[in-house]
Each structure stands twice: as C-alpha cells, then as structure tokens.
Structure 1
C-alpha cells in the first residue's frame, strides 16, 4: 500500500479536526481558531491598513468561519477556504481607510512624500525603530491607494505568494481575470516605487529615515507607541526586544532584495508575521465558549 503524500496527510488531519469541532469538541474548535487567527489578521491588516480595524475585521471573519465550519468540504485547504470568507468580508467593508475615504491616488500619495522630506536622516531617540515604523507604515498606506480588488490580488500573490489558481478561487473569479487584476496592481505599485522610493530605486528622493520628523509632527507616528515596529509577531514567547531584532532582519532582507525585478513585492512583502493581538483572541475564545454563539446556522 502506497504511503500517503504530505498533502493527503494534511487534508486528512484537517478533516478530522473540523469534524471534531463541528461535533462540539471545544479543544478542536479552539485549535481551528488558533490555526486561522494570525493569517487572517495579517490579511485584514494589509487590507485595512490599521491594527484596530484589522482586529475588528478578524474577529468578524473568524466568527463567520466558525459559524460555517460544517460547510467546509475539503474543496480547498482550510486556510484557503477561510481566506475566501475573509476576502469577501474585506472587499465589502463599509468602513474605509483614511486613504480610501480621501480617495487618495498613488500620485497624490507620492506628492505628499516629497512634502517635508528632511535633508538629513532622523537622529532622535529610537531612530532605528522609528525608521522601521516609517517604512512599514508607508508600505501599508501605499497599498490603500490601490482599488480593493487590485490590493487583494497583490497581497495574495506577491505578499502571501499564492498561485493564481488558488487566489482566483479565493476571490471568486477566473484565473485569467485574476491575473489581469494582479498585473494592474503590480504595474501601478512598481511605477510608484521606482519614482518615489529610495529602497526600490536609489535615484528616488524619498528615504524612510528622512520622513520620520514630518510623520511625528503630523501625529502619524507616535514615538512612544509605534504601531508596527513593536507589533506582536507570530512566535510564542518572543518579547519586544527580540521582535525588533527580527524586524531588523526582515528590513535588511527587503533592502537586499531591491536588486530583484519585483521591487514592489520586496518592499511591501517584508513585514514580520504579525500575530493577532492576544486580548482580541481571548475575546473570540470567550464568545465561542459562552454557548451563546451558534456553531452552525
């Protein structure tokens, strides 16, 4: 008898886990949530651009996934199936990011980067952390300048590195239509980065370290509480100091990758593996354990 392939073993393990969860086993349900929560949070953060909005979206997506868990038939990996639920929710969010609400284009965003660009690198307290914060915040903001359909295509393919067939299934479109949408997003982001970003093209004017002062003065960066540079990442027991070292490695890798053809993917993909905030995860667990939330509709 031939041995099962790793994919077949994974599929069987997922099927068994979901069957136990649907049957009412709380430990299995908690494991399903644990497997999905961080990837879904990273998806939501890329789409909403702000941790607080991503937390709200992740909670709603997880609850929808749990409510519909019995409908999963193994037609895709469990996480791929959950991404489909998440994408549908995120594409239809009524709440807009600041860039969306302002109808900010990439050209307008680029013009804003030139305004207030310092002549020298930021040398104040926590210069390294705040420079990283600037880069991470800027890459989130430029994504928000894309239409949601282009943004999700770029995130799924060039950040999460999913194939076009899988990503097309997630977005409920054809692979050909998906690839066209992805290509539009890549071209727009690539042209923007080449024109403005010193990481993507050394000839471009903008440098993260020269935007810090302006961002602090406008209240976009809080030096006491950076939103991204000290954000929890998906690894048990790692403190802020170790997270910062990991982030520094990620940034260094991104900068080394600028010589590659996919500059946009390198700049926008080099974020740490953010973890869903523990307080929100506990809240989801309490909702599921309360007995007031139906597993099945």
Structure 2
C-alpha cells in the first residue's frame, strides 16, 4: 500500500473512521485493503508462504483489536506496518530462518550447477514454472542472509520503496539510523548478487535452469506442490522483464529484480477467515498490540 495507492484510495481513510465507530463492513473493507501488503512484507521476511500467512493473520488481528487506539498522528499505513514489523521482529524463528545461510555459505551453495536440470529450449510449461519457483525461492532466501533488522530495512526501503522518513517511523528509529541500516543491507545484497547471481549479472555462472534438479534433490522444491510459482503468465513474461532489468545500471538491478516479484494473494480461505474473525470477538483476544503512535 504505497503513498500513491493511498491517494488513489481515498475511501480507505473514510473506512478506517467508520470501522473505529464499529462499522463491521467498513472494518472488513479496511482489512481487505491492507492484507496483501502485510502478507507481502511477511513473505519477504519469513520466506515460507505458510509462515507468512500465519504471521499475517496475527498481524491483522492486532490491527483490528488496536484500531481504537489509532488517532491519525501518523498515516494509517505507517501504523499498520509498525504493528507488522513489531510482530515480525518478535516471532520465534521458523524453519526457513533457522536454516538460513550466511552470504559466504550461500555463495558456496550456488557454485553447484547441474546443466542437466532444464534441457528443453524454449522450456515447456512445467519447466517454466520450475524455473520461476527456483528464481523466487532463491532470491527470497538471499534476504535471510541478512539479520532481522537489516532485512526489514531492505524490504521496506528498497523493495517496498517507503521513504526514509516513513520507514524510520515504522521501525521507530531515527531517519539517520534507518539510512545506515538500509545502506548496509543494500550494499550486502547488491554486492552478493552482482558477484553471484546470473539474473542480475549475465557474466556470472549461476543459472536458474542449472539449479532446478539440485533444488528438487535437496527437497527445496517440490514439483507437485510449488510454493511461489503460481502464474504461467508471469513465468512467460519474466524473460522480457529480465531484459529490462539488465538494461539498468548494475547497482540498481538487484532491487529491480526484487520489485519485479509480486506475491500472489494469500489463500482463498483467508477471506472467510477475516469475516469469521470480525464476527467472533473472542477470536481477536490477543496480547501485545504494538502500534502506538
């Protein structure tokens, strides 16, 4: 939910006001308006879609229960992201985070290439989705090489493109402190991808097609249950997107690659979950709503 989206959706602030007065339809509209953005933040932070969905549910409950404390001293989006980041920072580490590698280990892992992975050229539908799965899973896993504070700074500032002022309010740090975190995380991701990733730098040896078989053999990709690649249209369109990314200055390509990925909507059952939670006050009995203004 960018500033541009806020301006294009003046009804959101109106619905927030109505929701604070007890209007359930307005509350549902507010949650529907922010859920995908919260999920996208959680997914980039946690890597696994199920972990991201679980975190998103917790965050949205905190938004709902804390809505009465929102006074408008900051933007509504800033307030929502503050709640989200506070929750993400205090979550116990999930499987993906526990198994995260350091950049040096990740570089060693990428050194293994299997040219026998995807041989068909051009790749067929199944191969395209596998390539998309490897690409997304790998690039999101790179974010796990950053510690939590720097990961959030990178996602907020570089991927979601929040202003330094807004991101510092979200993280409750000074703008100078946020700029330092963003600079460090940006340099680490940029340096690593320019040196190792064949998407960002075509001179690098690593190719997604050479990682497919390895990913399947190591249990990182299940061809029968893909985690990230859900759209054949997006997979077919990516080569054209990549061509544009490679035309950018080298220092801008890593961020452009991350921005090119739009997480799909959460599971369809999520809509019914929202309605059930709104209709059941006991389901919203949570502690530690941290979105103070």
Q: TM-score, normalised by structure 2?
A: 0.87
Let me know the Cα RMSD of the aligned residues.
2.3
251, 259, 262: which is aligned to 1:269? 259
Note the C-alpha offset of 1:166: 0.8
SS of 1:68's equivalent? Answer: helix
Contact 1:97 1:144 in 2 (8 A): no
Superposed CA offset, 1:161-181 (max 9, x none):
111111111111111110110
Between 1 and 2, higher relative CO (CA 8 Å, sep ≥ 6) is seen in 2
Any stretches of 5+ residues in structure 2 without a counterpart? none
Q: 1:252 matched to which residue of 2?
A: 240
| C-alpha distance in 1 between matches for 2:6 and 2:257 | 31
Contact 1:45 1:54 in 2 (8 A): yes
Contact 1:216 1:223 in 2 (8 A): yes
Superposed CA offset, 1:155-198 (max 9, x none):
11111111111111111111111011001111111111111111
Change (3 A) 1:79 1:8: closer
Superposed CA offset, 1:36-74 (max 9, x none):
111000000000000010000000000001111011122
Q: 1:281 matched to which residue of 2?
A: 271
Q: 2:194 matched to which residue of 1?
A: 194
Query: Does 1:142 find its partner at 2:159?
Result: no
Change (3 A) 1:134 1:255: farther
SS of 2:133's equivalent? Answer: helix
Any stretches of 5+ residues in structure 1 without a counterpart? 1-5, 231-242
Contact 2:132 2:229 in 1 (8 A): yes
| C-alpha distance in 2 between matches for 1:213 and 1:9 | 44
| C-alpha distance in 2 between matches for 1:21 and 1:65 | 11
1:145-294 alignment runs, 5 A limit? 145-230=145-230, 243-250=231-238, 252-260=240-248, 261-293=251-283
Count matched residues. Answer: 277
Query: Does 1:113 find its partner at 2:110?
Result: yes
